[in-house]
């Protein structure tokens, strides 16, 4: 048995972890942030795939039977290949899940106007994963995407609340809303972005719903574990959480407090 692995390029996956722990507090979690190589959003398909596979392997080596890619960029660029190719040879009885599918399944039911805006990293936008997946579940929806390449570096460096940081965010929101005035639902399709949610809500018109993925992913995982007792029975249930970072642990612990509720004490991991 082992903990549930939660992976992100850096701090963003902590927003998902917080909701997993809220919804499913009984499980043990092992978080891995590849902070040394973040951000992933502007990296190529091949590089994101390679880094993500290394992280998944590391979490498997540390006993995880189930790994959540709590990163849209990794889910968009690496998940399918890992699920369809690598797992077969690496660990046929283990599972890797992403965050895009659960979000795209229900987003159409949240919008009244059927005009949905997606804010994401460049990598996620270029992959068109949200366009394709929302199209499957809500073919009538009109989806407009906008890449925000500055947001992850701003958040990773804790500069998103400075005047300059807020100006970048405001400009990106305006650029998206200019593309389609009928948007009534904005998806924060990057796990870093929920820390900006209240600021974004304060600058968009009040009829626009800003949707973070954490609760959606947590509900979807609860459902998955119910349907897959063979995986669920391999998940430790002591309610613990531990953290790994590929960067400096003290810095990780300090910055992680922006995202996590409790005090964080991480250990270092080298990914290769």
Report, as residue numbers or ranges, the catalytic residues. 71, 190
Q: How many CA atoms are closer than 13 Å to the CA of 162, on its beta-carbon side? A: 9
Least distance in Å: CB of 248 to ligand DGL?
17
Nearer to ligand DGL, 210 or 235 (CB): 210
Nearer to ligand DGL, 53 or 235 (CB): 53
Give the binding site for ligand DGL (CB under 6 A).
8-10, 12, 38-41, 71-73, 121, 124, 152, 190-192
Nearer to ligand DGL, 145 or 234 (CB): 145
Q: What is the dihedral of CA 243, 249, 253, 258, to 10 degrees?
A: -90
CB 78 within 8 A of CB 7: no
CB 191 within 8 A of CB 12: yes
Nearer to ligand DGL, 99 or 236 (CB): 99
Cβ count within 10 A of residue 81 = 14
Nearer to ligand DGL, 185 or 213 (CB): 213
In angstroms, rounded to a whole number, what is the distance separating the alpha carbons of residues 43 and 30?
A: 25
E strands present in 99-165: 115-120, 142-147
Q: Give Dmax over CA atoms of the chain in angstroms.
A: 50
Residue in the shown chain whose Cβ atom is closest to ligand DGL: 41
Least distance in Å: CB of 89 to ligand DGL?
27
Q: Determine if residue 158 is left, alpha or beta; phi over 0 gives left, psi from -120 to 50 gives alpha, anything else beta.
A: left
Least distance in Å: CB of 214 to ligand DGL?
11
Least distance in Å: CB of 157 to ligand DGL?
13
At 36, phi and psi to the nearest 5? -65, -25
In angstroms, rounded to a whole number, what is the distance separating the alpha carbons of residues 224 and 67?
A: 13
CB 53 within 8 A of CB 8: no
Least distance in Å: CB of 189 to ligand DGL?
7
């Amino acid at each position: 048995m082992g903990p549930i692995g939660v992976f992100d390029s850096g701090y963003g996956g902590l927003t998902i972890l917080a909701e997993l722990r809220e919804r499913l507090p009984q499980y043990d979690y092992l978080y891995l942030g590849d902070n040394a190589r973040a951000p992933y959003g502007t990296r190529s398909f091949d590089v994101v795939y390679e880094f993500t596979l290394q992280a998944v392997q590391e979490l498997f080596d540390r006993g995880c039977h189930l790994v959540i890619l709590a990163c849209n960029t990794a889910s968009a660029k690496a998940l399918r290949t890992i699920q369809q190719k690598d797992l077969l040879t690496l660990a046929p009885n283990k599972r890797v899940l992403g965050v895009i599918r659960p979000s795209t399944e229900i987003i159409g039911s949240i919008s009244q106007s059927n005009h949905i805006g997606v804010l994401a990293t460049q990598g996620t936008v270029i992959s068109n994963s949200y366009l394709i997946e929302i199209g499957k579940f809500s073919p009538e929806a009109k989806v407009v995407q906008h890449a925000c390449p500055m947001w992850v570096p701003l958040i990773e460096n804790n500069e998103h609340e400075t005047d300059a940081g807020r100006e970048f965010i405001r400009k990106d929101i305006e650029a998206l809303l200019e593309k389609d005035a009928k948007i009534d639902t904005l998806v924060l399709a990057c796990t870093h972005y929920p820390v900006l949610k209240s600021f974004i809500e304060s600058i968009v018109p009040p009829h626009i719903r800003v949707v973070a993925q954490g609760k959606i992913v947590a509900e979807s995982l609860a459902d998955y574990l119910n349907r897959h007792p063979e995986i669920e029975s391999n998940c430790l249930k002591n309610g613990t959480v531990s953290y790994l970072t590929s960067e400096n642990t003290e810095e990780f612990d300090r910055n992680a407090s922006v995202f996590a509720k409790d005090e964080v004490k991480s250990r270092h991991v080298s990914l290769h």
